[in-house]
Structure 1
């Protein structure tokens, strides 16, 4: 059985493989997520995943832990990617050492280590794909990881997507791909 922390390890490997060779490019000038440049998107990943780890450590019931993890001004693309992947590795380490029964605040509902791992994988893969797309590349995460994330993060949509490539389905669920015969997923929200 794959563990939640191993899921994070697989997501880290998929992002590292595609983005590391591209760190010699100017990520501040290339598109990332929405209005963000690739550099800002990488910083968002790092902040988000370190914050998820903080939630599992501090365990607040009704708010996020009051801190912000940021990439230093003047960081290079390699630094920004390092920050994103370090945030994922920190979350994986916390997930590995946190009791499964622990719950902490997330806006979509109380989450434990498995849920924060799924959310972290989603952030890492979806925003990693945003960066990759801006660089003219594409991620190829393991299909079984994408299938698992669909079931965890989009439980009502997952059953109707069984005939679709799992990575394409996950991109569709997060409004990053079109699927013939299905509406765009604007305003989507995943479940913790």
Structure 2
């Protein structure tokens, strides 16, 4: 069955839509919890930035590792907080936080554009290719912006075509008859679908597809 490939332009679009939404947040709202997560909204943006940075770094070496992550050091800033390499300078405020997200997204966009499609690199959910890492970055961006929008009191309804492409690339077991955005929320354990209970565990499948 044919599918539309996930591209660097798709990733850039997802990140820029997320940033446009998050820039509408009230300045004092960043310490609140991000949706159903145990992290606050500031930490969640740091985590998303860290995801995008890490995916860019993973396909960066001339010989990317196939059995482990590139060994950047990471730390938790508090017990139960996200384990990140990337942290934003708190004194830069929300504008600085979102600039960190913008920069991290740009790194992954650039790496997806310039990395040969035959390159493979490790991910815990399957050795993947540049398209796969782009799709992973889009999923992280869409669903964590959902978490953030819940915590910040913002509307967030990403384009169905983006959701459809990443579902086809990473979630071959997802239902094909429901709307793409609710289906992606279901696939990532954030919602129920008719005749499909909310998932308590989930994963994607990053292996390259024909």
Q: TM-score, normalised by structure 2?
A: 0.84
> What value does the CA root-mean-square deviation take over the aligned residues?
1.7
The match for 1:24 among 23, 27, 34 is: 27
Deviation at 1:138, TM superposition (A): 2.9
1:65 aligned to 2:70?
yes
Q: Is the 8 A contact 1:175 1:186 kept in 2?
A: yes
The match for 1:44 among 44, 47, 68 is: 47
Deviation at 1:69, TM superposition (A): 2.4
Aligned to 2:143: 126
Give 1 or 2: higher helix fraction.
Answer: 1
**Residue correspondence of structure 1 range 1-192 to structure 2 within 5 A:** 4-22=7-25, 24-32=27-35, 34-58=37-61, 59-67=64-72, 68-157=85-174, 160=175, 162-192=176-206
**In structure 1, distance between residues paired with 2:50 and 2:32:** 21
User: Partner of 1:133: helix, strand, or coil?
Assistant: helix
* Deviates further, 126-135 or 172-181: 172-181
* Deviates further, 92-101 or 14-23: 14-23
Q: Is the 8 A contact 2:46 2:97 kept in 1?
A: yes
Unaligned 5+ runs, structure 1: none
**In structure 1, distance between residues paired with 2:155 and 2:182:** 11
Q: TM-score, normalised by structure 1?
A: 0.91
Q: Is the 8 A contact 2:187 2:199 kept in 1?
A: yes
**In structure 2, distance between residues paired with 1:3 and 1:182:** 26
1:174–1:3: structure 2 CA closer, same or farther, 3 Å change rule? closer
